[in-house]
A and B are shown apart, each in its own frame.
Chain A
């Protein structure tokens, strides 16, 4: 049964004095907020602060005790919940791909319920898989358990986009991924966000992620909205101590000059290392098996560079050796100063580097990760 297209674009989302109580405890206490169309607003705060509850009210998974929520000046309580939700994409940390459906069935489920024909669904699924950088002929007929965590999260995003909703709700979408993968997906998400042109409401507990992705950041604490503003506004004019402590980087940044790479190293696990003589086909299956998206290509014991799973999947010649597709990245000794290494990386636009100990690879340096450790 086809449901009505409720809105083609979002002009505004308004929460007016929204309150929700469970027994005597406030989940949300008198929250008012204005979100403009096309904005990416990030909700951040300690667990139990009400950020997820706020998100889940916008598609009526939770209904307020009092207050109103308006989308394009329409009160959402007057809209049919099923129709409303089909106009809003939803992505969560646990992804929740249905294990009994193939990737194509997962993505196309709502389209099928909407009565689209097979051809139209297939075209849409192929387009979306391509959009999230998964070759469709390779992934359509697989089951979720055959995919790595990062691949599943991409499918989760594709599934949320199937009805081309003008609004996306994302609840810690990268929260369950390992740090390396998280950085990469954040990077990609940042790039595709432009193409998406959607209004996005995003929940996280990672301030670095908030600074990186958000147009505005809403800080919640104890069921209340404490402050909303751009990163600069929050850093320079924090509303209270709590906001200052979340965003305040000044105290810790002072120590940056003295930090060495070894203080911020992400240790190497041997599963990342692949020999350069490996062909692409076997490298892909090894990486999918190990659930990793980046592999270190080594020549015996010496690291030559990295290859990304996404790039390998796109190669036509699956017989060729991975050594021919290595991307070189800088390598630093673990005793080198962090600040100078970061400068070098920034100059050449590298997002990661090798860390060497006694001439051997011992870990990675991720500038973004380093910053979040410094300020976290």
Chain B
């Protein structure tokens, strides 16, 4: 390629394509998003059920949330290292760590959302002849959806970060490309992989934000 005859734009573009291809960033992105999705789905299922469970057992709610809070305070790299003996290298411990971090915001928001539904709705629902189960499914859960999605949104950002760190422990994903770039000191690789990861995080957060706003407008406080 005769670079001297090309403009700055195409120079950047060709560099971008080169970095993208040598680091197989398409594959890395797929790996990244696979881990990300698995972690988010698992964390949502466990977190929402745990939130529902804590709501039905208020006595253990505080100790459980405190425990999750404790997990939250462990820095991410030590947590990954702690998980290595149990789950080995790769995507296993990365997903587990992501789930552990995401549990607190999802569980806490589900629990708080259910608990803090405006009592006037619960009261009128009861007076209309809804059973406690109907009240939970027809009133409490729908009215706490904006809060639950708010927790999910925080979890999305955490998970994006932890999945990226998974590159350190051979989990693949965009973190692997980033670390390769750092180790070989290839500025272009670091920039492309870093910006791309950041962009993905911003996009997911933005999408979740839109869903949250919609739900707030429809289900929440007017």
Chain A 73-96 interface 0/1 with B at a Cβ cutoff of 8 Å (1 = within):
000000000111111001010101
Binding site secondary structure of chain B: helix
Closest to B215 in A: A100
Is B177 an interface position by the 8 A CB rule? Answer: no
Q: A85 touching B134 by the CB < 8 A rule?
A: no
Q: A96 touching B129 by the CB < 8 A rule?
A: no
The 3 A-B pairs with the shortest beta carbon distances in the complex, nearest first, are: A86-B129, A85-B129, A96-B124
Bound Cα distance from A32 to B125, whole angstroms: 28
Is B130 an interface position by the 8 A CB rule? Answer: yes
Chain A 148-188 interface 0/1 with B at a Cβ cutoff of 8 Å (1 = within):
00000000000110010000010000000000000000000
A61-B123, A94-B120 known; A99 vs B130 contact (CB < 8 Å): no
Distance from A230 Cβ to chain B, minimum over Cβ atoms (Å): 29
Closest to A1 in B: B131
Is A256 an interface position by the 8 A CB rule? Answer: no
Q: Which of A56, A59, A99, A169 has the most CB of B within 10 A?
A: A99
Distance from A102 Cβ to chain B, minimum over Cβ atoms (Å): 10
A98-B139, A100-B219, A143-B218 known; A61 vs B124 contact (CB < 8 Å): no
Q: B124 touching A3 by the CB < 8 A rule?
A: no
- 30 residue pairs of the A-B complex, CB under 8 angstroms, read A59-B127, A61-B126, A84-B129, A85-B127, A85-B128, A86-B129, A90-B124, A90-B127, A90-B128, A92-B120, A96-B120, A96-B124, A98-B121, A98-B138, A98-B139, A98-B143, A99-B143, A99-B220, A99-B222, A100-B142, A100-B145, A109-B138, A110-B128, A110-B130, A113-B129, A113-B130, A113-B134, A159-B128, A160-B128, A169-B127
Chain A 12-49 interface 0/1 with B at a Cβ cutoff of 8 Å (1 = within):
00000000000000000000000000000000000000
Is A237 an interface position by the 8 A CB rule? Answer: no
Bound Cα distance from A113 to B135, whole angstroms: 11
Chain A residues with CB below 8 A from B126, complex form: 61, 85
Chain A residues with CB below 8 A from B218, complex form: 99-100, 143
Closest to A162 in B: B128
**What class of interface size applies to chain B in its complex with A?**
20 to 34
Distance from B134 Cβ to chain A, minimum over Cβ atoms (Å): 6
Bound Cα distance from A110 to B126, whole angstroms: 11
Distance from A128 Cβ to chain B, minimum over Cβ atoms (Å): 14
Q: A83 touching B143 by the CB < 8 A rule?
A: no
Q: B123 touching A110 by the CB < 8 A rule?
A: no
Chain B residues with CB below 8 A from A142, complex form: none
Q: A96 touching B123 by the CB < 8 A rule?
A: yes
Distance from B63 Cβ to chain A, minimum over Cβ atoms (Å): 29
Tell me the residues in window 137-176 of chain B with beta carbons closer than 8 Å to chain A beta carbons.
Answer: 138-139, 142-143, 145
Chain B residues with CB below 8 A from A98, complex form: 121, 125, 138-139, 142-143
Q: Which of B126, B128, B145, B218 has the most CB of A within 10 A?
A: B128
Chain A residues with CB below 8 A from B129, complex form: 3, 82-87, 110, 113, 163
Q: Which of A85, A92, A145 has the most CB of B within 10 A?
A: A85
CB-contact partner of B127 in A61, A87, A109, A143, under 8 A: A61
Chain A residues with CB below 8 A from B125, complex form: 98
Q: Which of A59, A84, A85, A96 has the most CB of B within 10 A?
A: A96
Tell me the residues in window 101-144 of chain A with beta carbons closer than 8 Å to chain B beta carbons.
Answer: 109-110, 113, 143
Chain A residues with CB below 8 A from B130, complex form: 82, 109-110, 113
Bound Cα distance from A214 to B128, whole angstroms: 24
Q: Which of A61, A82, A169 has the most CB of B within 10 A?
A: A82
Tell me the residues in window 279-298 of chain A with beta carbons closer than 8 Å to chain B beta carbons.
Answer: none
Distance from B70 Cβ to chain A, minimum over Cβ atoms (Å): 35
Bound Cα distance from A46 to B126, whole angstroms: 26
Bound Cα distance from A3 to B130, whole angstroms: 11
Closest to A171 in B: B127
Chain B residues with CB below 8 A from A109, complex form: 128, 130, 138
Chain B residues with CB below 8 A from A160, complex form: 128
Other A-B pairs, 18, CB within 8 Å; known A84-B129, A110-B128, A143-B218: A3-B129, A56-B127, A61-B127, A82-B130, A85-B128, A87-B129, A90-B124, A92-B123, A94-B120, A98-B139, A98-B143, A99-B143, A99-B222, A109-B138, A110-B129, A110-B130, A159-B128, A160-B128
